[in-house]
């Protein structure tokens, strides 16, 4: 065995069961939780309308340095957009997207790449338990969108024999959470951010229409896209009565 040694990276992360880093999803008000579609699958949420804005908060119950990403990958980018808050051109940091609990040197940076788009999130060694980061999400198209929270393992450096090289991909990023948003046609026809009387007036004006077609579908009133506006569409419309999109 060679006497010379090299540095090799050893993982020093706690198990996922400890749930040190967590994620929460709220409506645009930042206070009302978005309910899951099924209590047994808490990260698959109830249907939201296209145009709905959500608030995603990354929190921790530990005081530690942490590096991760929140992003949308591949074709899912066609269905939703992540947005930061309070961008500073001087620091290239989304200063409004990090809370004090993330530490004095915390950063939120653009993390767009060829396979995904989102943000790199970095807490500081001065971090304390609490809410660390806040990112906005907007649904843009009918369909399913997945948003991933990924962690880069915390690393310790220790000497090992030089004849035991470390493969470069030995410790890839770890997927902590995958949020699933199912998105349906909007009922906010007048685009005032609330499904109300104005939208019902638009819906009612097409009542009984039998010639709805792609791409307009009678200004969206044909919610099930079957060519006519009838009781089935009324039921779909009523499901979102008084719901806000932002």
What CATH number should be reported for the domain holding residue 71?
2.60.40
Does 147 share its domain with 212?
no
Q: What is the pLDDT of residues 36-92, one digit of tens each?
A: 999 888 899 999 999 999 999 999 999 989 999 999 999 999 999 999 999 999 989
Does 164 share its domain with 48?
yes
| 244, part of any domain | no
| 192, part of any domain | no
Does 48 share its domain with 145?
yes
- Range name among 77-86, 106-115, 130-139, 207-216 with the lowest pLDDT average: 106-115
Q: How far apart are CA 162 and CA 224, in angstroms?
A: 65
Does 143 share its domain with 206?
no
Does 49 share its domain with 139?
yes
| 168, part of any domain | yes
Buried b (16+ CB within 10 A) or exposed e, 141-174: eebebbbbbbbbbeeeeeeeeeeeeeeeeeeeee
Does 160 share its domain with 207?
no
14 has pLDDT over 70: no
- The pLDDT, as a whole number, for residue 32 is 94
pTM given for the model: 0.83
Does 227 share its domain with 113?
no
Average pLDDT, the chain: 86
What's the total number of domains in the chain?
2
The mean per-residue pLDDT over the stretch 111-129 comes to: 83
- The pLDDT, as a whole number, for residue 117 is 83
Domain that holds residue 97: 5-184
Strands 155-161 and 5-11: what pairing? antiparallel
Q: What is the pLDDT of residues 150-189, one digit of tens each?
A: 998 865 444 445 455 545 555 678 999 999 999 999 999 9
């Amino acid at each position: 065995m060679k006497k010379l040694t090299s540095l090799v990276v050893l993982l020093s992360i706690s198990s996922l069961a400890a749930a040190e880093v967590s994620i929460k999803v709220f409506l645009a008000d930042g206070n009302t939780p978005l309910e899951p579609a099924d209590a047994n699958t808490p990260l698959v949420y109830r249907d939201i309308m296209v145009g709905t804005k959500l608030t995603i908060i990354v929190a921790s119950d530990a005081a530690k340095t942490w590096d991760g990403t929140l992003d949308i990958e591949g074709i899912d980018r066609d269905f939703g957009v992540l947005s930061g808050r309070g961008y500073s051109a001087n620091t290239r940091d989304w200063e409004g997207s990090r809370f004090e609990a993330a530490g004095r040197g915390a950063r939120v940076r653009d993390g767009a790449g060829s396979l995904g788009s989102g943000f790199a999130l970095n807490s500081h060694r001065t971090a304390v338990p609490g809410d660390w980061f806040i990112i906005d999400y907007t649904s843009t198209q009918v369909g399913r969108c997945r948003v991933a929270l990924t962690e880069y393992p915390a690393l310790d450096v220790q000497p090992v024999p030089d004849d035991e090289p470390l493969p470069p991909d030995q410790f890839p990023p770890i997927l902590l959470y995958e949020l699933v948003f199912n998105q349906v046609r909007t009922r906010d026809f007048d685009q005032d951010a609330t499904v109300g009387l104005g939208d019902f007036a638009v819906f009612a004006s097409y009542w009984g229409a039998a010639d709805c077609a792609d791409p307009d579908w009678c200004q969206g009133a044909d919610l099930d896209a079957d060519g006519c506006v009838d009781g089935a569409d009324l039921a779909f419309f009523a499901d979102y009565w008084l719901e806000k999109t932002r």
